[in-house]
Amino acid sequence: MNVRLSLMRRISQGFGLLLGLFGFTGIGMTHIIFPGLHCYACPLAVTICPIGLAQNLVIYGTVPYFWVATIVAYGILAGRGFCGWFCPFGTLNDLLSFRKVRINGIASYSKYAVLIGTIIAAWMFADTMFCKVCPVGGLEASIPYLFLGVASVNRPFLLHLGVLVAVLAGMVIISRFWCRYLCPMGAILSLFNRISFLHLTLNPNRCSWCGDCAKACPMGLQPQEEYDSHNCTKCGECTTVCTMDAIQLTFSPQVERSRRVIPLLLNREHDQGGS
């Protein structure tokens, strides 16, 4: 079961990369909003970057009905599960996750500051300011266009490249560095983490509090205590190392989740009170 989960996630990440680069088929730009961070300036992009679109909606004063409906649908479906299972830049974070570090709770809220700053900057300057420094844009657009002979080495290119190098270095030093602290799309999806259909559930009666799940978590969480955290990307790594099957990744409506988990937690509190 654990091996199958890991394989399923790799396959899902592969589909995310395929969707991101689906332009190789000759299909042009669509109106599909990508459920992660993916630059729509990429030569092979067929989907829209949600953060880039949000900035343009602010700039032109357009009511974001389609954007909101799509993001809410993504959020309710999986929350930050798209970060752990689908986003190509999240996959790159995974590949460079050599050093797992305990997450700092306060610092992790910096991604909300990035999100708010992105919207404010778009309104103040009437321009997609975040796109000018986005490392995803540097990787998927600036570098490819340089090799295609469309772009040249100028200040915007060097800015993109500098930010990309800094973020990649951060990923090596701290696993999932971008996802933890800086991703505005992760900030948006995290708002739905506690109500999304895809979620972790904990059976406290099975948990031995050994800490193996915490050692495996690429986001530096304590899954046995923070299984519904806004920082959880629902990658399922904690479930693959849990020998007691105390923590599981499931897909079901929030009502069913509450119906199962709350009695377990109440029973644990009752047992502790009586001991």
Cβ distance 54 to 43 under 8 Å? no
**pLDDT of the residue at 116:** 98
Domain boundary among 131, 158, 190: 190
Looking up residue 231, the CATH number of its domain turns out to be 3.30.70
77 and 131 both lie in a single domain: yes
Residue 88 structural domain: 2-190
Q: Does any domain span residue 262?
A: yes
Inform me whether the pLDDT recorded for 199 exceeds 50.
yes
Q: What is the pLDDT of residues 215-258, one digit of tens each?
A: 999 999 999 988 889 999 999 999 999 989 999 999 988 654 44
19 and 103 both lie in a single domain: yes
Q: Does any domain span residue 219?
A: yes
**pLDDT of the residue at 84:** 95
pTM (two decimals): 0.88
Domain total of the chain = 2
**pLDDT of the residue at 228:** 83
**pLDDT of the residue at 253:** 81
**pLDDT of the residue at 258:** 46
216 and 176 both lie in a single domain: no
169 and 216 both lie in a single domain: no
100 and 229 both lie in a single domain: no
Rg of the Cα trace of the chain?
A: 20
Tokens 């772009």, located at residue: 151
Q: What is the pLDDT of the chain when averaged over all its residues?
A: 90
Q: What is the pLDDT of residues 67-99, one digit of tens each?
A: 999 999 999 999 999 999 999 999 999 999 877
9 and 142 both lie in a single domain: yes
**pLDDT of the residue at 103:** 73
Q: What is the 3 state secondary structure string of 57-121?
A: HHHHCCCCHHHHHHHHHHHHHHCCHHHHHCCHHHHHHHHCCCCCCCCCCCHHHHHHHHHHHHHHH
**Which phi and psi (to 5°) does residue 117 adopt?**
-65, -35
Q: Does any domain span residue 275?
A: no
Q: What is the pLDDT of residues 131-182, one digit of tens each?
A: 999 999 999 999 999 999 988 899 999 999 999 999 999 999 999 999 999 9
**Lowest-pLDDT range of 54-58, 73-77, 105-109, 255-259:** 255-259
Neighbours of 252 (CB within 10 A): 13
